[in-house]
Amino acid sequence: MRIVLDWLRELVAVPGDVDGIARELSLRGFEIADVEHEPEAVIDFEVTANRPDCLSHIGFAREASAVWKLPLQMPDLTMPAYGPPEPLDVRIEDAALCPRYCAQVFEVRVEPSPGWLVQRLDAAGVRPINNVVDVTNYVMLELGQPMHAFDLARLAGRALVIRRARAGERLRTLDGVDRELDPDMLVIADAERAGAIGGVMGGHDSEIGSSTRLIALESACFQPASIRRTSKRLGLKTEASTRFERGGDIAAPPAGIARAAALLHRIDAGTPLGLIIDSYPVPRDPSRIQLRAARIARILGQEVPAAEVAPILEPLGFGVRSDAERDARGNLERRWTVTVPTFRVDVQREIDLIEEVGRHYGFDRLPVTFPPLTAPQSAPDPRIGIDRLVRRVLTGTGFSESMTFAFVERDAALPFCEPGVDPAAIANPLSEKFAVLRPSLLVGLLDSCAHNRRRDRRDVRLFETGSRFTASGEGRAAGFTWCGAADGPHWSSPTRPVDFFDAKGVVEALAAAFGVEIECVAAARPFLASGRSAAVQVAGSAPPRLLGVVGQLLPAVAEARGFPPSEEIFAGELDLDALAAAASADDMKARTLPRFPAIVRDLSILIDEALPAAAVRGTIRSAAPDTLVSVVEFDRYQGKGVPEGRISLSLRLTFRAPDRTLTDEEAEQATAGIVHALRAAHDAERR
């Protein structure tokens, strides 16, 4: 909101220069975007969505009057003498979307506006058009009440009907664009067709022109949600919609017409004909809220003198009545009944009033120490600890954390959806790039990888933790993508590209951090390359407990998002809720270091080349005694000396007893039992 300083000083005699005024108002919670000194002194404020009353000069003048304890000078709202009435029929057919509608007929002379009016509109960032339109814009900036003028001669039946649009109805707006309307939109129509989109923009057919002699001036209040929905659906954001969608003042419409009448009379541009038409089907009373001194002290951490509460709130437009009474112990309990003005749509609860008291009392006067705790702090959400553990593991393995949007493009999400399931659509997306909720974290991570690769970053390792939205609902997951080299360059050996086993190792590291033993089984996914992908599940679980997937992203999927077709990208995603549920409480506890030495035996066997290593490990563990503590594959050979279709697999078996030192004989017996089990289960031969 651009505030012209001279205009502001007409409403309240604010002392100081533009920088001093900006500084004082910024201390009351208003963010300063810019301060201009030439040719007009102007302050540009960033007004939050909950303060529509400050999208006007009078709103900031009211704040300034409270800061400097000066009287607020309301603009001239005197209705000039009116001429003979002209007929105008006003009907509200949907009071839910338009609770109040005011209109008045004026006889006007359309011509350029006087210089002072043009200068003020220019300084406020509004383009002058003609005296009638400029007056409506001036009132909007001054009072915060958008208005619109219709050429009365162009209104069929001299009627203004506030109704919903009809199915398939079209309207050419003032910007010259033909727009198709739908029944959820509110329109201002004449007896035959729509003439304006209520609260958003007027229509081209009833536009004010140089030949206009009679106008119907509207000033209304619309339902905020309806205006926002219409504005978003049409992609049409205006000064009027910006104000109405945040909440209009139900008492402002007649004041807006009175101010416009006074300005038209002042610049000799028009005369009202007949009385104002005020259609207000269900009048609303201002709300009242109980404010307690004890609650103020509790929230702010310091007592505010009771004598200062009313002087703080009353200049802001609140009505304050003291309701102090004595409690059962005879102590005086200070409280007030506060009447909330209709323009403060953001004040609905006692806590909102306490905020008003606090910011004008001065947050800088509040104590800087924390209030004493009367109850123990609640335990943190378990998901926080889980996310921290994931970050620690993945950053330790060389990955960088990425944060992507949960809203993604539909075409990007489709490959990651379950077959026959569409991604969850956003009802009113900002654009097509944010049309659906992501079914997988890999959607955003793939785009991030492609973004880096297009900028000549060849080696990219990214991960993310967050929510994904599948057919079964929202869930937490951890995902990663990896492209380029498996290791950093070094003179001692050439670099090699990342492969499936590198990605599998990342998944294993994550599972190990949670104390979960996993196994990877062949699986097909629409976004993963066949033969280079696997489902990750809890080892030995029956039925299988799926944790996630790992593998190479399908080249067609990666290429569609801008990734080079000649390069490979590997990825993995784990369900954090399932992973945490599978974590063993015993495995997450610290253990004492072993007191007795271990015995290591290396074993080389010939097995079928298609046999998964997980099957070999499973057989070994089922046949080994409890003293077997680890199984590690350290060599795989296929070639000369090994029969075709077979491989030589070398494993290192580590045995240790918790209560004694094992003998070589015990280790040999355990190894022999393992070899026997491998021969029986997989036709293995010991080398």
End-to-end CA distance of the chain: 84
pLDDT digits (tens, 9 = 90+) for 298-316: 898 888 999 999 999 999 9
Q: Are residues 28 and 170 in the same domain?
A: no
CA angle 481, 485, 487 (to 5 degrees): 105
Contact 51, 45 (CB under 8 A): no
- Which pLDDT value is given to residue 376? 85
- Domain annotation covers residue 243: yes
pLDDT digits (tens, 9 = 90+) for 252-266: 999 999 999 999 999
- Which pLDDT value is given to residue 328? 63
Q: Are residues 234 and 347 in the same domain?
A: no
Residue 207 maps to which CATH number? 3.50.40.10
Residue-number span of the structural domain to which 191 is assigned: 89-279
**How many domains are contained in the chain?**
5
Q: Are residues 435 and 543 in the same domain?
A: yes
Q: Give the span between the Cα atoms of 339 and 244, in whole angstroms.
A: 23
Residue 657 maps to which CATH number? 3.30.70.380
* pTM of this prediction exceeds 0.85: no
- Which pLDDT value is given to residue 651? 92
Q: Are residues 214 and 315 in the same domain?
A: no
Q: Which residues of the chain have pLDDT under 50?
A: none
- Which pLDDT value is given to residue 584? 62
Q: Are residues 342 and 483 in the same domain?
A: no
Q: In what order do the strands lie in the sheet with 159-164?
A: 89-92, 159-164, 186-189, 194-197, 201-202
- Which pLDDT value is given to residue 393? 95
Q: Are residues 298 and 224 in the same domain?
A: no
- Domain annotation covers residue 589: no
Q: Give the span between the Cα atoms of 118 and 120, in whole angstroms.
A: 6
- Domain annotation covers residue 591: no
- Domain annotation covers residue 84: no
Q: Are residues 228 and 296 in the same domain?
A: no
Give the other-Cβ count within 10 Å of 569's Cβ.
26
- Domain annotation covers residue 81: no
Q: Are residues 411 and 469 in the same domain?
A: yes
Q: Are residues 350 and 394 in the same domain?
A: no
Residue 508 maps to which CATH number? 3.30.930.10
Chosen domain end from 548, 582, 616: 582
- Which pLDDT value is given to residue 371? 66
- Domain annotation covers residue 588: no
Q: Are residues 400 and 471 in the same domain?
A: yes
Q: Are residues 94 and 61 in the same domain?
A: no
Amino acid at position 423, single letter: P
Chosen domain end from 279, 309, 344: 279
- Which pLDDT value is given to residue 127? 94
- Domain annotation covers residue 254: yes
Taking alpha carbons only, the member of 439, 440, 448 closest to residue 401 is 448
- Which pLDDT value is given to residue 330? 65
Q: Are residues 417 and 566 in the same domain?
A: yes
Instruction: Give the CA-trace dihedral at 400, 590, 544, 415, to 10 degrees.
Output: -10
- Domain annotation covers residue 251: yes
Taking alpha carbons only, the member of 20, 9, 69 closest to residue 316 is 69
Chosen domain end from 556, 582, 608: 582
Contact 240, 222 (CB under 8 A): no
- Which pLDDT value is given to residue 544? 86
Residue 7 maps to which CATH number? 3.30.56.10
